A and B are shown apart, each in its own frame.
Chain A
């Protein structure tokens, strides 16, 4: 094991209240994580979180509801809604006409998983997947809902999931950050709701654990590229002399933290080589590029980000998070969701297959899902060919693969109208607790003391769902 983006840290990263406590070496802290983790034997070592920002319509992709089709146009009964609060976008609506999907559903694989015709590639690998149809959340709007998924709290300021993992478990490699983020824009909506860099922020944890965004183009990590006219050799040369003078000053001040900073420069220098290398997918074999689909070589697409995710996992990056935006179909849903699904269908399936073929799926957890679901009734006017759907927190679908998750199952169920959960509800904090469990972490014990309180990713909630574990 090596040390990640953190490289070497400063003493004052540690709990300010523990100032007298004998400190393990900083290198140790980052190699092993800050806690004596894992608590028990882990199933997963790495994670790829394919975040579908905007709220994909579970009813048009995963959750097949023939009853909705049969009752098309009928007003949502209050006995089903049970006072669920609505967003400002439909709270003024006179009625709530139910609508099923205009897309066909079929069962796939030995697991007989239901999927819509929009996801044919996912269908082919359905036996690798665990669908959770009973996700639910507390938030009904994007910002609080995404923030909730990422940090366990609806309000800004807490550390991101990946930061918690970096803090708790440390890094597995020497040359790359342990928490890497990539963004792509879907073709579903012309203008999608935006993202915010705090979603991958370290909150109150050390900024050693912040998510580092990788981008397409000549500067894949901000400020990675040398100034014009400065070669790698010259940079190496400068760093050698920088270290000489810094060493002199370390002696002068007796400050060993200067040695830490020398190490940070070395890590930065290694990143200048390792990052462009890992980001260069042109040398991937044609067969691989074809597997991920026609967008594979287009920079900043979901497909190319999926290939990059696999390459980063091969380098033992702990937490790779993709955000694909554009899933917010308030209107014009049938046309938009079709395009949006096409963006992700083939690359997602390819990624999972690719990981499997390389023997990486076993200890790499892949998660696909958004921040909430969408309503079973139409937002706006329901026509024969068109409808929209508002945000729906009470039930939605995500799927997972690899990393100790039971493959080929569907977990949880919604009611016949797809409005409420009928079986095995899984709250956002439950999902977080379950993921941490796969990494050998007791979610109640991974804490960070800040402002006098021990904070957890799962706040004071969360139950591990054993039934989806392999």
Chain B
């Protein structure tokens, strides 16, 4: 029996006009891939009952393995779920196309259903012989071959070849390169988190040499601000904060670890060492003090001080947090889903969760800490120690000794058990430290501890570490990873939009760049793909709304840190001092106090220069984070965050319009042009303001709007304050308050808050 297709199926290579109004996911590829087309459907709609978790498996049927798909069914030995090339004999087809509620899969009560396209994909895959392969992300990347350029004048490096091939297949073209002003601002933000100065823009505009851009990139990668930019991303991943979190949320002192992160990035410590030190610096042979300090990474999780909690319950949380952070950020696996039962979608058993957990479970630590306590294990830090052992720590004279939390194993302290339903008080079987088998077996060549784990992560055969890392770096520049779910490379994660590019980048980073982050980043920013114009190509957008083809550079809002830093930097207020303790710029009064408690309730804003430090130094109280950053989607830092949201809300408009942190720069900037105000023309001044803030020259129309706005604001002021005559008298020179309004307007422009 055959099934009638209800949807119009368009092969991927049909002509552009045929495809004109069909979005890419509505097209069934000519050759259906199990990994990329079929399994995502099975995983999302079937695995919960027919997947890896044996305890909830229905009808003894599993669809996540080769045997389950193709062998005879345990409960119906005369049938098979899938009979290659014979969809109508395949039980799965009978079930998913059935209208009978008793037969139909997924069943009604699952609240899941297959779309017509999804059914069609499964049908065609079987018809095409049902080719099967293991999960793509668990197969080590090999270096794919590169052919002739598709767009000879466009392809600067292999990245462009892969991007170009897909664009070419679609019979599209990439965009022209961005203009120099736009490109410069883009690469400044991406590499340093800060905008270029007018002088830097002028120098770049004036430099006609072929390597003008290359010189800029090299300079930026060598600038200390590069380390700050990279660190601000790493702080989200490592859930860095200046307080302990949970209910009481008192202060902790981990900022020297942040200084180390900035230092490590600026020194371009190879990524494998950067991670190994943080995971297992203490276990390296004859570790240096710096390597031990780096392990503070795994102590950045929250620690409770709520009197009356059961300490063991929380200690178990801390260990789980370390395991989850490592798995999520470095391996792109949702390990935590296997804490209470086997993973529902991926090949990770509950036992493997606790095996991974075991690496982090040998620390002699407390679940509940007192007020004012510096939790062990720890190392002392004071001015003298910092000067002698940690020259990269910016230790102020005014601060006395304190302790920094680090990792230290106490062998024999406890065994790791599987915890039934994830409960701290329900230990069952003892398990040894190990990693999920399906990724790469944890053989005897690896030590049974965190150092073994680090070595396993950076083993040549590990299929995930490099892919996950290059994907995250890609996301840093393009706003979205080649895998759109940077913390999930499993069955429920997104497919890579460019699998071969992902593998090329992973292979190159691991084996050719030898984990050299700066070199790798340089590959990205030098590519023509990265240097494209960000004007949206409307014909492409209809079909590819997320711009996965990258036929133009994607525009995204600047991060919370960048938005504030931009206001400080463009106005000249920014204090560019690297490192040191966190600072407290002004915030609305009473925010800490009104939440109650008797610990850290007084927010005493810093004065002087500390008000104008970069935002990655802003004091982070987990339970009441700085509101003007939270409003711009900064992470709470309760847990590891690999990707922030990118929203647009009215509260953001209020911050930009009214927060003194944003209105004051406008005043400061105007005042810094006092000499022009006295002697220059309105056009000149408005151009300066516009260029300072947006990094581009106003065109005629923009300038006309600004002039009109300035003049009408003057009139408005006069009407409102009824001091018309006074205004007229001083009309010979420019009006400061109207200029400030102009500057505020420019600070609120979309192009100011976006990376174009």
Contact between A9 and B536, CB atoms less than 8 A apart = no
Partner of A234, one of B24, B659, B720, B756: B720
Stretch from B123-131, B447-455, B588-596 at the A interface: B588-596
Residue B420 at the chain A interface, CB threshold 8 Å: no
Partner of A248, one of B307, B622, B701: B701
Residue A13 at the chain B interface, CB threshold 8 Å: yes
Q: Which of A18, A193, A227, A267 has the most CB of B within 10 A?
A: A227
List the B side residues contacting A156 at CB < 8 Å: 245, 302, 636, 638-639
Name A201-231 residues within 8 Å CB distance of B: 201, 206-208, 212, 215, 219, 221-227, 229-231
List the A side residues contacting B659 at CB < 8 Å: 223
Contact between A11 and B545, CB atoms less than 8 A apart = yes
A300–B594 Cα gap in the complex (Å)? 10
Contact between A142 and B595, CB atoms less than 8 A apart = no
Nearest opposing residue in chain B for A87, CB measure: B308
Per-position binary interface string of chain A over residues 165-204, scored 1 when its CB falls under 8 Å from any chain B CB and 0 otherwise = 0000000000000000001010000011111111001000
Contact between B712 and A246, CB atoms less than 8 A apart = no
Instruction: Known A22-B23, A391-B308, A453-B337; judge A196-B651 contact (CB<8 A).
Output: no
Instruction: Known A10-B648, A223-B628; judge A242-B745 contact (CB<8 A).
Output: yes
Q: Which of B337, B344, B538, B645 has the most CB of A within 10 A?
A: B645
Contact between A253 and B555, CB atoms less than 8 A apart = yes
Nearest opposing residue in chain A for B601, CB measure: A194
Contact between A223 and B655, CB atoms less than 8 A apart = yes
Contact between B654 and A224, CB atoms less than 8 A apart = yes
Contact between A241 and B493, CB atoms less than 8 A apart = no
A100 CB → nearest B CB, Å? 24
List the B side residues contacting A183 at CB < 8 Å: 594-595
Instruction: Known A17-B484, A452-B492; judge A229-B712 contact (CB<8 A).
Output: no
Instruction: Known A20-B24, A253-B536; judge A224-B756 contact (CB<8 A).
Output: no
Residue B248 at the chain A interface, CB threshold 8 Å: yes
Residue A2 at the chain B interface, CB threshold 8 Å: no
Stretch from B9-17, B72-80, B279-287, B747-755 at the A interface: B747-755
Partner of A194, one of B248, B625, B748: B248
A192–B593 Cα gap in the complex (Å)? 11
A399–B371 Cα gap in the complex (Å)? 36
Residue B167 at the chain A interface, CB threshold 8 Å: no
Residue B732 at the chain A interface, CB threshold 8 Å: no
Instruction: Known A219-B588, A255-B536, A452-B485; judge A444-B111 contact (CB<8 A).
Output: yes
Contact between B654 and A221, CB atoms less than 8 A apart = yes
Partner of B25, one of A21, A191, A268, A272: A21
Residue B598 at the chain A interface, CB threshold 8 Å: yes
Contact between A237 and B712, CB atoms less than 8 A apart = yes
A191–B368 Cα gap in the complex (Å)? 20
Nearest opposing residue in chain B for A253, CB measure: B535
List the B side residues contacting A201 at CB < 8 Å: 636
Contact between B648 and A196, CB atoms less than 8 A apart = no
Name B580-639 residues within 8 Å CB distance of A: 588, 590, 594-599, 601, 622-625, 627-628, 630-631, 633, 636, 638-639
A45 CB → nearest B CB, Å? 23
A378–B687 Cα gap in the complex (Å)? 73
Contact between B492 and A223, CB atoms less than 8 A apart = no
Contact between B623 and A197, CB atoms less than 8 A apart = yes
Nearest opposing residue in chain A for B701, CB measure: A248
Contact between B653 and A268, CB atoms less than 8 A apart = yes
Residue B120 at the chain A interface, CB threshold 8 Å: no
A391–B306 Cα gap in the complex (Å)? 13
Residue A261 at the chain B interface, CB threshold 8 Å: yes
Per-position binary interface string of chain A over residues 243-264, scored 1 when its CB falls under 8 Å from any chain B CB and 0 otherwise = 0111011101111011011001
Residue A235 at the chain B interface, CB threshold 8 Å: yes
Contact between B26 and A20, CB atoms less than 8 A apart = yes
List the B side residues contacting A253 at CB < 8 Å: 534-536, 555, 756
Residue A422 at the chain B interface, CB threshold 8 Å: no
Stretch from B139-147, B259-267, B462-470, B702-710 at the A interface: B702-710
List the B side residues contacting A226 at CB < 8 Å: 657-658
List the A side residues contacting B658 at CB < 8 Å: 223-227
Partner of B702, one of A9, A19, A245, A391: A245
Contact between A198 and B638, CB atoms less than 8 A apart = yes
List the A side residues contacting B657 at CB < 8 Å: 223, 226-227, 235, 265, 268
Instruction: Known A142-B247, A197-B595, A223-B658; judge A10-B334 contact (CB<8 A).
Output: no
A20–B663 Cα gap in the complex (Å)? 40
Interface size class of A (residues with CB under 8 A): 35 or more
Contact between B111 and A206, CB atoms less than 8 A apart = no
List the B side residues contacting A231 at CB < 8 Å: 720
List the A side residues contacting B716 at CB < 8 Å: 233-234, 237
Residue B196 at the chain A interface, CB threshold 8 Å: no
How many residues belonging to B are interface residues under a CB distance threshold of 8 Å? Answer: 104
List the A side residues contacting B622 at CB < 8 Å: 196
List the B side residues contacting A335 at CB < 8 Å: none
A368–B537 Cα gap in the complex (Å)? 53
Contact between B701 and A88, CB atoms less than 8 A apart = no
Nearest opposing residue in chain A for B345, CB measure: A452
Residue A6 at the chain B interface, CB threshold 8 Å: yes
Contact between A241 and B595, CB atoms less than 8 A apart = no
Q: Which of B317, B344, B538, B750 has the most CB of A within 10 A?
A: B750
Contact between B751 and A249, CB atoms less than 8 A apart = yes
List the B side residues contacting A268 at CB < 8 Å: 650-651, 653-654, 657
B481 CB → nearest A CB, Å? 10
Nearest opposing residue in chain A for B662, CB measure: A223
Partner of A238, one of B555, B599, B631, B741: B741
A274 CB → nearest B CB, Å? 11
A13 CB → nearest B CB, Å? 6
Residue A16 at the chain B interface, CB threshold 8 Å: yes
Residue B487 at the chain A interface, CB threshold 8 Å: yes
Residue A271 at the chain B interface, CB threshold 8 Å: yes
Instruction: Known A17-B485, A183-B595; judge A242-B756 contact (CB<8 A).
Output: no
Residue B476 at the chain A interface, CB threshold 8 Å: no
Contact between B535 and A254, CB atoms less than 8 A apart = yes
Residue B649 at the chain A interface, CB threshold 8 Å: yes
A85–B308 Cα gap in the complex (Å)? 11
Q: Which of A207, A244, A255, A257 has the most CB of B within 10 A?
A: A207
Residue A109 at the chain B interface, CB threshold 8 Å: no
Contact between A451 and B334, CB atoms less than 8 A apart = yes
Instruction: Known A206-B645, A245-B749, A444-B111; judge A185-B596 contact (CB<8 A).
Output: yes
List the B side residues contacting A229 at CB < 8 Å: 737
B540 CB → nearest A CB, Å? 10
List the B side residues contacting A224 at CB < 8 Å: 654, 658
Partner of B624, one of A16, A193, A197: A197
A39–B548 Cα gap in the complex (Å)? 34
Residue B488 at the chain A interface, CB threshold 8 Å: yes
List the A side residues contacting B534 at CB < 8 Å: 253
B735 CB → nearest A CB, Å? 13
Nearest opposing residue in chain B for A21, CB measure: B25
Contact between A194 and B595, CB atoms less than 8 A apart = yes
Instruction: Known A234-B741, A265-B748; judge A5-B246 contact (CB<8 A).
Output: no
Residue A157 at the chain B interface, CB threshold 8 Å: yes
B590 CB → nearest A CB, Å? 8
Closest 9 CB pairs of A and B: A20-B25, A452-B492, A194-B597, A196-B623, A87-B308, A268-B653, A254-B536, A268-B650, A143-B247
**22 A–B contacts from the bound complex (CB under 8 Å):** A12-B480, A88-B308, A143-B247, A156-B302, A194-B596, A194-B623, A196-B595, A207-B633, A223-B651, A227-B658, A227-B660, A227-B663, A237-B713, A241-B708, A253-B536, A261-B750, A264-B653, A272-B654, A300-B594, A445-B111, A451-B485, A452-B337
Binding site for A on B (CB under 8 A): 23-26, 43-44, 111, 245-249, 302, 304, 306-311, 317, 334, 337, 344-345, 368, 425, 480, 484-485, 487-488, 490-494, 534-538, 541, 545-546, 548, 555, 588, 590, 594-599, 601, 622-625, 627-628, 630-631, 633, 636, 638-639, 645-655, 657-660, 663, 701-702, 705-706, 708-709, 712-713, 716-717, 720, 737, 741, 744-745, 748-751, 756
